[in-house]
Amino acid sequence: MPAPLLTLQDVRLTIGTSPLLDGAELFVEPGDRICLVGRNGSGKSTLLKIAAGMLEPDAGRRFAQPGATIRYLPQEPDLSGYPDAFHYVAAGLSPGDGEARAHYLLGKLGLTGEEDVTTLSGGQARRAALARVLAPRPDILLLDEPTNHLDLPAIEWLQEELESMPGALVLISHDRRFLTDLSRATIWLDRGKTRRTDRGFGIFESWRDQLLEEEERDRQKLNRKIAAEEHWVRYGVTARRKRNVRRMAGLAELRQQKREARRQLGQVNFQVSEAANAGTRVIEANNISKAYGDKQVVKDFSTRILRGDRIGLIGANGAGKTTLLNLLTGRLKPDSGFVQLGTNLVLVNLDQTRTLLDSTASLKEVLTDGRGDRVEVGGEWRHVTSYMKDFLFTPEQAGTSVNVLSGGERARLLLAKVLAKPGNLLVLDEPTNDLDLETLDLLEEMIDDYPGTVLLVSHDRDFLDRTVTAVLFAEGNGSFTEYAGGYSDMMAQRGGGVEATRLEKAEKKEKAVPRVKADAPKRKLSFNEKHALEKLPGEIDKLTAQIDKLQSQLNDPKAYQDSKKFAELTAALGKAEAERSAAEDRWLELEALREELEGK
């Protein structure tokens, strides 16, 4: 086995009085594809910062192989000190790398490189930071929520880029599809400790549930043992003045174990406040159009939305999704056509910019609007600390200022504020940003159970598949097409997902004045594509040999005598066959591309 490029052992870090990391570990070998998962506030970003060498733990060991290139993408990058985005990205290149790499990455992420870093939005800054860490093709890439603020074409491009990257990857993300497609190992950070399985994210939830069930069984055994010892203490020594000192010490130790056990955090409890039912017809749009100057944002769009519909709006950034959303909800008037809203509509809006949150206010002030210590939820008054617990906030956090909360905690606080308001038309603009996977599960259930109508803007493909009944896709030039079902259904009907939009953007980039020489050569295979084309046949041969070995083991009658071993062999065989199929498909795709390019 190759030596790990990066090692974290027995890492410990305490913030305040509570241990955030309590013996966490991370081993990264060449070519690893690791996803790091856990609750908001569990310490994932902190562990990644320690891995990057940016944060010193209280205890533990960090070792990186000399000469290994490590790049880290933070959630909030600092671009200060650079005149423009290009110079910021170029500063991340390795010696010998050409500037064309920086231009290529910036273009793919929707930037020109000429942007003043002091005027970049948060999303633009993160895209520039992503280009910077990708630029040198590092040995280890540490990514903290890389898909936040990316649109679907950019997410699909980034996934392809990372799949072809030869280096190792450690990834934090709330995007299930992204994690499932990219990871081959999963590390779960829970209550300060890490647990690892050398399988991708697709099995995480079943694996986690199995571990929690085993933990609960162990806890029940401990409780029974404590009860038995307490019974002996109370009733087994009535005739003796002196108790058995050793047994009493053992009971004290058991009690201490129970006190110190850091249980899995509770679940978020979503309770949606309902307004009176709206009419059957919620929104009807007839040939609506909207333009800003010469740019047609929405063109001749018509739809009818009924009570109970869950509509997802999908498309590239700047394609007009927010404009269409504002037109459909009556917050913006069309240039032509008309929108008719149904009766008794009460709109509740979740704004991805977090504008509903005053950063200087406390959690209690945000939830009560600064009026006392009670909040109205579903027509009933509740104490604010009780309501906070539903969203995993402790009573001690009631006076905490918003500006010290993590991104995930702010997302939960905003959900708590929005969902307390009564409504029957729920508008969610990128609600999945910064939410952990458990909270996402419950948000999906809430949307499914919501009696009203939901309009949803999201770039999270798995979330869309789980929640919406129809998709409005921005085709470009103001055109929107409606598809039944979720994201995967749209892809099946289109036959190409968001490829058309990505190609359209690429054509626009070609027409723009480039900062590289105008007589650039024709398209050739990229470094990553060449590397993959050379490497894949060997990987396919190794997987074939692995499949033959596993099949031989399964053909042995003794394999059926151990059900656990048989299940492990069967799972390994299925995984190897899937990986070989994917590798063969990728090689055929690259070989066809090579022949096409060489034939020009």
Q: Is the Cβ–Cβ distance between 272 and 446 less than 8 Å?
A: yes
What is the Cα–Cα distance from 29 to 37, expressed in whole angstroms? 18
Is there a single domain that holds both residue 146 and residue 102?
Answer: yes
- Domain assignment present for residue 272? The answer is no
Q: Which two tokens stand for residue 119?
A: 């005027």
User: Which amino acid is it at 77?
Assistant: P
- Per run of 10 residues, the mean pLDDT along the chain (length 600 residues) is 87 86 94 91 91 94 93 90 92 84 90 89 86 92 90 88 92 92 93 92 88 79 67 52 54 58 53 59 92 90 91 87 91 92 83 69 88 81 87 84 79 82 84 78 80 89 89 90 87 66 42 37 59 82 86 76 76 82 75 67
- Domain assignment present for residue 490? The answer is yes
Is there a single domain that holds both residue 480 and residue 565?
Answer: no
Following DSSP, what letter does each residue of 545-567 receive, concatenated?
HHHHHHHHHHHSGGGGG-HHHHH
Task: State the helix-helix crossing angle for 152-163 and 499-511, rounded to 10 degrees.
Answer: 90
CA 259 to chain centre: 33
Annotated binding site for ATP: 38-45, 315-322
- Domain assignment present for residue 380? The answer is yes
Is there a single domain that holds both residue 298 and residue 354?
Answer: yes
Annotated binding site: 38-45, 315-322
Is there a single domain that holds both residue 566 and residue 447?
Answer: no
- Domain assignment present for residue 365? The answer is yes
Q: How many domains are contained in the chain?
A: 3
Q: Is the Cβ–Cβ distance between 359 and 401 less than 8 Å?
A: yes
Is there a single domain that holds both residue 531 and residue 400?
Answer: no
Q: Is the dihedral of CA 13, 19, 21, 24 positive or negative?
A: positive
- Domain assignment present for residue 195? The answer is yes
Is there a single domain that holds both residue 320 and residue 425?
Answer: yes
The CATH number of whichever domain residue 558 belongs to comes to 1.10.287
The CATH number of whichever domain residue 368 belongs to comes to 3.40.50.300
Between the alpha carbon of residue 476 and those of residues 311, 335, 351, 481, 513, the distances in Å are 19, 18, 24, 10, 22
What is the Cα–Cα distance from 447 to 419, expressed in whole angstroms? 11
Between the alpha carbon of residue 358 and those of residues 75, 346, 405, 409, 426, the distances in Å are 20, 24, 12, 14, 22
Residue 295 neighbours by CB distance under 10 Å: 11
Which pTM does this prediction carry?
A: 0.66
- Domain assignment present for residue 513? The answer is no
The residue out of 443, 474, 508 marking a domain boundary is 508
Is there a single domain that holds both residue 488 and residue 563?
Answer: no
- Residue 24 belongs to what domain range? 6-206
**End-to-end CA separation in angstroms for the chain:** 43
- Domain assignment present for residue 219? The answer is no
CA 257 to chain centre: 34
Is there a single domain that holds both residue 470 and residue 345?
Answer: yes
Is there a single domain that holds both residue 500 and residue 559?
Answer: no
The residue out of 508, 540, 567 marking a domain boundary is 508
pLDDT in tens, 174-232: 889 999 999 999 999 998 999 999 999 989 988 988 888 887 777 777 677 666 666 55
Is there a single domain that holds both residue 82 and residue 32?
Answer: yes
The residue out of 481, 508, 535 marking a domain boundary is 508
- Domain assignment present for residue 247? The answer is no
Is there a single domain that holds both residue 488 and residue 552?
Answer: no
Is there a single domain that holds both residue 425 and residue 546?
Answer: no
Q: Which two tokens stand for residue 114?
A: 């000429």
Q: Is the Cβ–Cβ distance between 368 and 446 less than 8 Å?
A: no
